[in-house]
Structure 1
Amino acid sequence: MTDHDQLMKALIREFFADFLRLFFADWAARFDLTHVEWLDKELLPDPPDGSRHLLDLVAKLRTKEPAPGHDPADASAWLAVVHIEIESPDKTTLLKPRLPRYYIHLRDARGLPVLPIVLYLKVGLDGIGVDAVSESFWELEVLTFRYLYVGLPGLDAVKYVAGSDWLGVALAALMKVEKERIRALGREALERIKMAPLSAQQRYLLAACVDKYLPLDEAGRAEFEKFINADEEVRAMAKGIFERAYDEGVEKGRSRGFHEGQLNLICAQLERRFGTLPERFVERLNSLPTERLVAVGINAMTAKSLEELGVE
């Protein structure tokens, strides 16, 4: 997952049980979702090319029935791992070859059954299903690896934005919808999220997803900014998302790539609010140290003007 999708990672982590129930109800029913242990630093050892991969979301939880390798007589040991990768590129070819290696790493490191899931943000496939990675040596099929997937662009946004699951309301922002309904969909999603019986932080995450992936009109933009300005805890969460993205970027040894991704995200945010950015302003942003750029990204969500950011 790229650093600028840190928001999506925070969203799925917060609504993990809802995610499983919404898209994989049969699987969700076989897990005990009342307690989840997050394994935050699952970093693969350096492969031969020297790159490193921090897995997106790795959860350890109990199962309600024994899985292969479990002792049927010892329910206390019925543990499993759910691994979710969030993929933003508009094709599957970048991630799929890595999935078997991710699985083997987790299976060996944890000694537990592993359920692999991919959340595609820009690839629809069949909406929800099972996909496979296969390798052959001539006519011999050496490896077949299967995983569950959600392809959000393959799902109907209107159905989910009107549904009873709040995560589905927010994720409708990435689903298919007729062009003439896009802005209305964003307003409807925000209006529903505003009334959701959730914590302020949870409503912020849901609203931020809508804001990021759907174009909002002036009224919708004003409504979103109320989420951030109205509650100190919400502002702290917004700040935390940017800071965690920076921390992970450094840990992966990809600070330069993170800097570029953060710059693109901030520019996109500001252009949606203030129109085309002056070239000098963008150059000045790019020259800032990464730590300062993160701070600008946090302030960009509530600033009333470019001047208020103090970049020039």
Structure 2
Amino acid sequence: MNLFPCTLVYVDVDAKPGPNSTNRDPLSYVSQAICLNNSLRRVGMPTLTIMTNAPALVEKRLESLPPEKRPAVTKLTATIELPKNTPFYAAHFKLDLMDQLSDALPADTMMLLLDADMVAWLPLDHTLIERCAEAGLGVYDISDQVFPAYGSERVVADLEIVADGRLANPRWYGGEFMLATPASLRRLVPRARASYARYLDESERLRHHGDEAFISAALNALVDEGQTVVEVGAYQAVGRHWPGNNYRDFRWFCCCSFIHLPGGKYLLEKEARFVEFAPTRFWRRMRHAHLRGRMRHAAKRVVRMLSAERLATLSAYALRGVKS
């Protein structure tokens, strides 16, 4: 089974920037994609394809690279419409990307959909690729991160609203990684379009917005109907890292095939300035960013603790005044 690594770069200067984006350059994701492509080449994977609604702008940004080291560029046919102030606006167009590839890819090739703010760290395990090919879908289950953070009842409620029915075992799937055969995409896309329509209709009731909401709802519905999915996170095919977060021991990420850095986009943009991806250099910078994040988290905890103590003291003084 062949792999088709691809990423979405949707350019719209009038749209609201992503919540995790600090660079206001609408083409900053191209720089991240350059880094991703360099890391893919290092581990012996196929060239990354950037699917974009603005191919001329993207190709101009890539002009300075040697032709053999550039990502490929394919025009995305965008069909969906939604308010431009919607959180994670650009990510919604992954639905159009999946739809386009469901017909464009040959039967022996799987879509490997990746977010641009990722690096390939190790080659994907061949046995895992085979399992995903047999099942049709390989997805990244991040329920253990999302459910505790937002409350399982709220997350499940959002999923079932978008799915338009009760789900047997609701799961939340990360949008940064998906392996899918063309046949499975042809099953998934119609369900995802139906979920997307309900997602738009019910958006004011939902706490969660973005492609993960309606794609997860569609995947859950397919699973309830008997579709098998391979949970790739258990195989460390991908790990999501936030600087300073204690969810995983930092060393755990060095055994992942892909590392997603939604809070470290600037690290990827810096690394893209180099012709080749250097793991040692990148790991050192990633580790420094992680340690700085730990310090920020610690400082915030101290401030919260001191604020709580001060509030308790003021309350105690006020209570004494009332009693006297």
With the shorter chain as reference, the TM-score category is under 0.3
TM-score between the two structures when normalised by the length of structure 2: 0.24
TM-score between the two structures when normalised by the length of structure 1: 0.24
Structure ranking higher on relative contact order (CA contacts 8 Å, 6+ apart): 2
